[in-house]
């Protein structure tokens, strides 16, 4: 009886110790949380913090010590779950298997949305600004790209005649504009030809730092000798496709020097445009005025405004 009383507690203790060692809840903490996300601030401070699973959700509930068994970490440095079980707070998970720290301290979740489902403003999940245009090079297409023939003697003002005259003078080409002091061939009837290019500047350029802007237009292959001059780029008053049917706007200022010789083969011709002329959310009205009696042709469907944002 005495031996049984002495050995009983020892046997019970040994039995309990065996149970503890065999319990999966007391294994190495790294084995109870699945693969550790490299975006956590404890294991990889230089990581970008991108979520690898759904924000704040756990796939197999909670462990007995309050840590998540296979949850995913938040990408915010102040809301990542620890990779050791003894440093996780007891209230890190709720009874419905979602972590209470799945949102950052400013109310946004790790997937870039606020706790009420709306998109967080200002930054993406990687921390880059989402408001405004990003640095880079952008080619803006024209909202207007055409030419007009001004009235001369009995020949009336006409936009359609200008486009038709340009196309008929260059075999195998279409969608051309012509810049000439006096278009003598075809439907020109010695009328002056001016070309117009309007570009809408996007609203998200408001706070952008524009380092350069360039008007670029490609020339066609022509049967004529190279034109000695390519025209003078000017800033004009406001116009639209409809208004150019009846009249041209006033020229406000020259932009740079007039262009020199233009080849009779396909090349890109460029004019620098002062960045301060680009106003976000507003159209930029440009025109090419002729400076020589030898006309020059441009492919109007290739016109772009190349903008470099720092």
Domain ranges of the chain: 1-131, 136-309
Instruction: Provide DSSP, 153-205.
Output: TTBPPBSHHHHHHHHHHSTT--SEEEEEEEE-STT-TTEEEEEEEEEEPPGGG
pLDDT in tens, 67-115: 333 333 434 333 333 333 333 333 433 334 333 343 343 444 434 333 3
Residue 63 pLDDT > 70: no
pLDDT tier, 33 (very low <50, low <70, confident <90, very high otherwise): very low
Q: Can you read off the two tokens belonging to residue 137?
A: 């090079």
CATH topology of domain 136-309: Jelly Rolls (2.60.120)
Residue 25 pLDDT > 60: no
Which residues are within 8 A (CB) of 51 and not within 5 positions of it... i.e. 6 or more apart?
37, 39, 72, 73, 74, 75, 110, 111, 125
Q: Give the C-alpha distances (Å, rounded to integers) separating 46 from 12, 77, 197, 215.
A: 50, 11, 48, 42
When pLDDT is averaged across residues 214-223 and rounded to a whole number, the result is 97
Q: Can you read off the two tokens belonging to residue 309?
A: 């944002």
Q: How many CB atoms lie within 10 A of CB 296?
A: 29
How many whole angstroms separate alpha carbon 61 and alpha carbon 93?
9
pLDDT in tens, 100-110: 343 343 444 43
Q: What is the per-residue pLDDT for 186?
A: 83
How many whole angstroms separate alpha carbon 68 and alpha carbon 55?
13
How many whole angstroms separate alpha carbon 41 and alpha carbon 86?
17
How many whole angstroms separate alpha carbon 68 and alpha carbon 82?
10
For strands 176-183 and 251-254, give the pairing.
unpaired
Instruction: Provide DSSP, 224-261.
Output: SPPBS--BEEEEE----TTGGGT--PPEEEE-SSPB--
Backbone φ, ψ for residue 218 (5° rounding): -100, 140
pLDDT tier, 251 (very low <50, low <70, confident <90, very high otherwise): very high
Q: How many CB atoms lie within 10 A of CB 278?
A: 19
């Amino acid at each position: 009886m005495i031996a049984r009383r002495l050995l009983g507690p020892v046997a019970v203790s040994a039995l309990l110790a065996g149970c503890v060692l065999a319990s999966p809840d007391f294994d190495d903490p790294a084995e109870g949380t699945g693969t550790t996300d490299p975006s956590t601030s404890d294991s990889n401070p230089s990581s970008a913090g991108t979520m690898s699973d759904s924000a704040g959700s756990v796939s197999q509930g909670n462990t007995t010590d309050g840590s998540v068994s296979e949850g995913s970490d938040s990408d915010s440095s102040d809301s990542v779950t620890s990779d050791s079980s003894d440093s996780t707070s007891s209230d890190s998970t709720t009874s419905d298997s979602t972590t209470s720290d799945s949102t950052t301290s400013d109310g946004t979740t790790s997937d870039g949305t606020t706790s009420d489902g709306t998109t967080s403003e200002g930054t993406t999940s990687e921390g880059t600004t989402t408001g405004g245009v990003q640095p880079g090079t952008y080619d803006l297409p024209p909202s207007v790209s055409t030419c007009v023939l001004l009235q001369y003697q009995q020949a009336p003002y006409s936009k359609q005649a200008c486009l038709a005259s340009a196309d008929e003078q260059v075999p195998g080409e279409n969608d051309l504009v012509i810049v000439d002091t006096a278009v003598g061939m075809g439907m020109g009837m010695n009328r002056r030809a001016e070309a117009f290019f309007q570009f809408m500047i996007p609203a998200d350029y408001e706070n952008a730092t524009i380092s350069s802007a360039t008007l670029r237009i490609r020339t066609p292959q022509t049967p004529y000798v190279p034109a000695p001059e390519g025209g003078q780029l000017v800033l004009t008053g406001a116009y639209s496709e409809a208004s150019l049917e009846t009249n041209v706007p006033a020229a406000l200022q020259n932009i740079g020097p007039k262009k020199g010789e233009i080849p009779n083969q396909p090349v890109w011709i460029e004019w620098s445009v002062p960045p301060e002329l680009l106003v976000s959310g507003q159209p930029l009205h440009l025109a090419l005025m002729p400076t020589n009696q030898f006309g020059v042709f441009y492919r109007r469907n290739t016109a772009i405004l190349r903008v470099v944002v720092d």
